């Protein structure tokens, strides 16, 4: 089966896996804090179970693109619903959810160590789930040794959040926390230039 798979498929599956782990951490948070919500069962019933097994063992090689798109959508729905359902019941726990995202980024922050800014940007792009490669969600605008600027061409997340009555602004707030955690070990600033443009620069 591996003969049918290329690096881009493993790259995308890794991004899916990272978002899957964030959702798992959110579920664990609700369980550890005895919140009055059976989040795992709710997610499984609404969207189906999300299991991360080795790609070679689970992918449909007769429909690789479609299978990966289905997994992207599954994790997008699960994240949007998990966050939205928790905040609808306990809006005061937003800071805790932000911490979950920050810590997830920090957990893999060694990926950014000893890298150029362009390589750091690539790492951000390698870890955040932004649809399928063909969606071309982001565009690099400027890159040099001191600054990298990129723009979001299209929001591939909004429809998922809208369908669960969620706030897409919450997603981007949490996304920023993840990026900040990812950059925790390096001397790099991350900032939003405007709603769709972001920048990393040397401090």
Predicted confidence (pLDDT) per residue in 3-43, tens digit: 578 999 999 999 999 999 999 999 999 999 999 899 999 99
Domain that holds residue 176: 2-202
CB contact burial 15-34 (16+ within 10 A = b; e otherwise): bbbbbbebbbbbbebbeeee
φ and ψ at residue 140, rounded to 5 degrees: -75, 125
pLDDT of residue 2: 46
| R_g of the chain computed on alpha carbons | 17
Mean model confidence pLDDT for the chain: 95
pLDDT tens string 160-203 = 999 999 999 999 999 999 999 999 999 999 999 999 999 999 98
Distance of CA 90 to the CA centre of its chain: 22
pLDDT tens string 86-107 = 999 999 999 999 999 999 999 9
Q: Is 165 exposed, middle or buried (0-12, 13-18, 19+ CB in 10 A)?
A: exposed
Section 123-150 average pLDDT: 94
pTM, whole model, 2 decimals? 0.94
Q: How far apart are the first and last CA of the chain?
A: 46
- Reading the block at residue 153, the tokens are 């061409």
pLDDT over 60 (residue 142): yes
- For the chain, the domain total comes to 1
């Amino acid at each position: 089966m591996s003969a049918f798979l290329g690096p881009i498929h493993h790259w995308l599956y890794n991004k899916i896996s990272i978002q899957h782990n964030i959702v798992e951490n959110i579920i664990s948070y609700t369980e550890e804090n005895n919140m009055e919500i059976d989040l795992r069962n709710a997610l499984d019933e609404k969207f189906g179970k999300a299991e991360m097994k080795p790609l070679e063992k689970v992918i449909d090689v007769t429909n690789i693109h479609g299978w990966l798109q289905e997994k992207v959508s599954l994790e997008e729905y699960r994240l949007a619903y998990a966050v939205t359902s928790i905040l609808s019941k306990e809006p005061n726990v937003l800071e805790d959810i932000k911490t979950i995202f920050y810590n997830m980024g920090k957990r893999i922050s060694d990926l950014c160590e000893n890298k150029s800014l362009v390589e750091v940007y690539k790492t951000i792009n390698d870890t955040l789930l932004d649809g399928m490669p063909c969606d071309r969600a982001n565009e690099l605008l400027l890159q040099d040794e001191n600054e990298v600027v990129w723009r979001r061409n299209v929001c591939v997340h909004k429809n998922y959040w809208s369908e669960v009555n969620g706030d897409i602004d919450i997603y981007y707030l949490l996304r920023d926390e993840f990026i900040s955690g990812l950059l925790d070990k390096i001397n790099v600033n991350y900032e939003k230039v405007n709603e769709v443009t972001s920048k990393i620069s040397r401090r």
